[in-house]
Amino acid sequence: MRRLVIFAALAAASAPCRATEPSVAACLPPQAGILAALVPGTAPLVLIDRGQNPHSFDPSPRQLAALSKCDLYVAAGLPFEKALLPRLRTLNPAMQIVPAPADEHAHDADEADEHDPHFWTHPDGILAEARAIATPLAEAAPSVNTALAAYEASVRDLDAELRVRLAPYKGRAFLVYHPAWSHFAEEYGLRQLAIEHHGGAPSAKHLAGLTDAVRTEGIRLVIAQSDSEAARARPFADSLGLDIRLVNPLGRNPLQVLRDTANAIEASLSHTPPTP
Ligand SMILES: [Zn+2]
């Protein structure tokens, strides 16, 4: 019954997690976008909503206070959540927490470096997240299942479209600043090259290797996720005459992010075949 009340408040476009209004919260904007697709009219509280770096983020006391009043939190598996989730369980034992998708490599220290935590940058990741979020909501409101089915159909349609559009570039490489698109690359048979190296500024040796790759792969642009990242990519891009295209993987509509990524890859690769 309590969940039914929660859902009624959600459907009435409640403000983000005020003391008197039961509501929902998400760690990242793409998760909030999925929430809003499943429960039209809802306005989730989003923890990382101002371009902060998710890899080094910590919520403010104010955010924590607002979050602790929410009825549901969608976690993203980020480092700060290791401390946050137990705290939320203490502050609000009734809160439902949707865990981040399982990290297949979490138990394998050697592969930790290889694992890409940006699970929503491919269709299967978006579908899994939508289903995980829908499950607790649908217990109280079966209409969520209808919204989920429609959302799943739109993900599958986009996936089919991108598969056709990206097929000509199978095996080829695209260049990004921050490596957030490993899942996308794997899904569509592409290779991701990144300027950022082990989470930091690139060494001269790394850039020299990339310079060779840009030339032999026929790469024409760099994908950067923000203006500040574009500024960091600029010297390298200018030295090779590369364009910079902004695609923010933390955008609120993960389907639009997939489409923008495909557009950028097409723009990078459609003019120039790789040298044999
Ligand atoms: Zn990232």
Q: Which of 75, 78, 15 is nearest to 45 (CA)?
A: 15
pLDDT value, residue 184: 98
| In this structure, CATH architecture of domain 2-99+106-160 | 3-Layer(aba) Sandwich (3.40)
How open is the CA angle 185-215-244, to the nearest 5 degrees? Answer: 60
- How far does residue 120's CA lie from ligand 1's centre (Å)? 11
Q: Where are the beta strands (DSSP E) in the chain?
A: 24-26, 45-46, 72-74, 96-98, 173-176, 191-194, 221-224, 243-246
- The shares of helix, strand and coil residues in the chain, as percent rounded to the nearest 5, are 50, 10, 40
- pLDDT at position 9: 47
Distance 12 CA to ligand 1 centre (A): 33
> SS3 for 243?
strand
In angstroms, what is the span from residue 51 Cα to ligand 1's centroid?
A: 11
| pLDDT number for residue 271 | 77
Distance (Å, whole) CA 242 – CA 77:
34
Segments making up each domain of the chain, as ranges: 2-99+106-160, 168-269
| Contact status, residue 37 vs residue 130, Cβ threshold 8 Å | yes
- If one counts every other C-beta atom within 10 angstroms of the C-beta of residue 101, the result is 17
**pLDDT tens digit at each of 276 positions of the chain:** 445 445 544 544 444 565 444 489 999 999 999 999 999 888 899 999 888 888 889 999 999 999 999 999 999 999 999 999 999 999 999 999 999 887 554 444 444 446 788 999 999 999 999 999 999 999 888 899 999 999 999 999 999 999 999 999 999 999 999 999 999 999 999 999 999 998 889 999 999 999 999 999 999 999 999 999 999 999 999 999 999 999 999 999 999 999 999 999 999 998 766 665
Ligand 1 center to residue 55 CA distance, Å?
Answer: 6
End-to-end CA distance of the chain: 65
181 C-alpha vs ligand 1 centroid, how far in Å? 9
Kindly give the distance from the C-alpha atom of residue 144 to the centroid of ligand 1, in angstroms, as a whole number. 29
Q: How far is the CA of 53 from the centre of ligand 1 (A)?
A: 7
CB neighbours (10 Å) of residue 212? 9
pLDDT value of residue 30: 97
Ligand 1 centroid distance, CA of 150 (Å): 28
The rounded Å distance from CA 17 to ligand 1 centre is 26
Please tell me the distance between residue 116's alpha carbon and the centre of ligand 1 in angstroms.
8
Q: Which residues contact 138 (CB under 8 A, 6 or more apart)?
A: 144, 145, 148
Q: Please return the burial class of 213, using the count of CB atoms within 10 Å of its CB with bins 0-12, 13-18 and 19+.
A: middle
What residues contact 72, with CB distance under 8 A and at least 6 apart? Answer: 6, 24, 25, 95, 96, 97, 98, 136, 137
Q: How far is the CA of 118 from the centre of ligand 1 (A)?
A: 6
Q: At 26, give phi and psi (nearest 5°).
A: -135, 150
User: Ligand 1: distance of its center to the CA of 250 in Å?
Assistant: 8
CB atoms within 5 A of ion ligand 1 belong to 180
Question: Rounded CA gap, 142 and 29, in Å?
Answer: 24
Question: How far does residue 8's CA lie from ligand 1's centre (Å)?
Answer: 35
State if pTM tops 0.85: yes
Number of Cβ atoms within 10 Å of the Cβ of 71: 23
CA of 143 from ligand 1 middle (Å) equals: 33
- Calculate how far, in angstroms, residue 48's C-alpha sits from the geometric centre of ligand 1: 12
Q: How far is the CA of 180 from the centre of ligand 1 (A)?
A: 5
pLDDT value at position 276?
A: 59
The three-class DSSP label of residue 223 is strand
pLDDT of residue 135: 95
Q: How far is CA 178 from the centre of its chain?
A: 12
The structure tokens listed for 30 are 């793409």
CATH number 3.40.50.1980 given to 168-269: yes
Vertex 132 angle, CA 192 and 44, to 5°: 90
Nearest Cα to Cα of residue 255 among 146, 163, 126, 153: 126
Residue 155, CA distances (Å) to 116, 252, 262 in order: 21, 15, 14
